[in-house]
Amino acid sequence: MKRMYDITAIGELLIDFTPAGQTERGDMLFARIPGGAPANVLAAATKLGNRTAFLGKVGKDAFGSFLRATLDGLGISTEGLLADEQVHTTLAFVQLDEHGDRSFSFYRKPGADVMLDFSEVRRDIVEQSSILHFGAVSLTDEPSRTATLKTAEYAKSLGKIISYDPNFRPPLWDSVENAKEQMLRGLALADIVKVSEEELELLSGTADLEKGSSILAEKGPSLILVSLGAKGAFYRLGGITGCQPTFDVKTIDTNGAGDSFFGAVLHRLAGKPLDAIRSMARGELEDILSYGNAAGSLTTTRKGSIPALPTEAEIEECRRTVPLLQK
């Protein structure tokens, strides 16, 4: 079947309520921001020119309609986005500290995103895609856990490239042990994986970047990326390892930065066969990660996740003109 989509993602699509000032009486105001890591990754890649599609479920409510309209407006196909008449769209309230770092409170017991059943997944869209991307937030509960894993297994059986972001959110799991077990199930299916330092330690048992990434590589992925915040990104591709520094920008909101980074990296990898990715030289990989780091850095200079995503021109200007952050 002819490939129509560079990247298809399956997973959560929700509303992030982010702080937006105060009323005259001092009451906190929140902005309604479209969110969900898989959708953020797609939004980043779409803005950079990729053809993308989303598979998931929202509520048949005003928030769900807003999210569908948002994806449609970005150019992401919503043919595989369903609306649940019984369960509302998932909501998350985001708090930012003085450094722009985030904490979350979720309204999701249940939320529509966890109600996606494998029988509802548009497998024809998977068949028409080059990369299937997913995260572990959709692995917290059934039926979305089985739907996500079976979709990834199906894509892998067709020779699609599987990308994965564990995206550990402790409030959504009943225990750390169960989170690790389910996240490792996703890892075993992945060709490309992005983890945080916390997730690396959780999944490998060590905080050491070299040792931890080697342990993860033994479980299946070919390319492992560890996001290091202001320190950039660590990488492992077979026996090649290293760190790619990021850019010295004024950060005001880190929400969506990792998704922007990963979306930009997948944008650069889309269309490459898996063998070509596995055989990349260090220089080519570091150029791709520099591109991703520029995208992630620029996203932190604006509020919101999807609204803050940079353009190709902005990324290239950042790479030309902004100094690397020395850590």
CA distance 45 to 130: 13
DSSP string covering 303-327: SSSGGGPPPHHHHHHHHHHSPBP--
Q: Is residue 167 part of a domain?
A: yes
Q: Which domain holds residue 94?
A: 5-321
Amino acid 174: pLDDT: 94
DSSP string covering 15-62: EEEEEEEE-TT--EEEEEEEE-HHHHHHHHHHHTT--EEEEEEEESSH
Whole-number average pLDDT of the chain = 95
Q: Is residue 220 part of a domain?
A: yes
Q: Is residue 222 part of a domain?
A: yes
Q: Is residue 224 part of a domain?
A: yes
Of 192, 23, 25, 198, the closest CA to residue 101 belongs to 198
Amino acid 2: pLDDT: 62
| Residues 279, 281, 282: CA angle, nearest 5 degrees | 130
Residue 323 CB partners (closer than 8 Å, separation 6+): 247, 248
Quickly tell me which residue has 């003085």 as its tokens. Answer: 98
Q: Is residue 211 part of a domain?
A: yes
Q: Taking each helix axis from N to C terminus, what angle separates 257-269 and 37-47, rounded to the nearest 10 degrees? A: 50
Q: Is residue 326 part of a domain?
A: no
CA distance 266 to 161: 10
Q: pLDDT tens string for the chain (327 positions)?
A: 567 999 999 999 999 898 888 999 999 899 898 989 999 999 999 999 999 999 999 999 999 999 999 999 999 999 999 999 999 999 998 887 777 677 788 999 899 999 999 999 999 999 999 999 999 999 999 999 999 999 999 999 999 999 999 999 998 999 999 999 999 999 999 999 999 999 999 999 999 999 999 999 999 999 999 999 889 999 999 999 999 999 999 998 887 899 999 999 999 999 999 999 999 999 999 999 999 999 999 999 987 778 789 999 999 999 999 999 976
Residue 311: phi and psi, rounded to 5, are -90, 170
Q: Is residue 102 part of a domain?
A: yes
CA distance 294 to 290: 6
pTM, rounded to two decimals: 0.95
What tens digit of pLDDT does each residue of 185-215 get?
999 999 999 999 999 999 999 999 999 999 9
Amino acid 327: pLDDT: 64
Amino acid 19: pLDDT: 85
Q: Is residue 241 part of a domain?
A: yes
Amino acid 1: pLDDT: 55
Residue 70 CB partners (closer than 8 Å, separation 6+): 34, 306
What CATH number should be reported for the domain holding residue 204? 3.40.1190.20
CA distance 106 to 67: 17
CA 228 from centroid of its chain's CA atoms:
15
CA distance 292 to 288: 6
Q: How many domains does the chain have?
A: 1
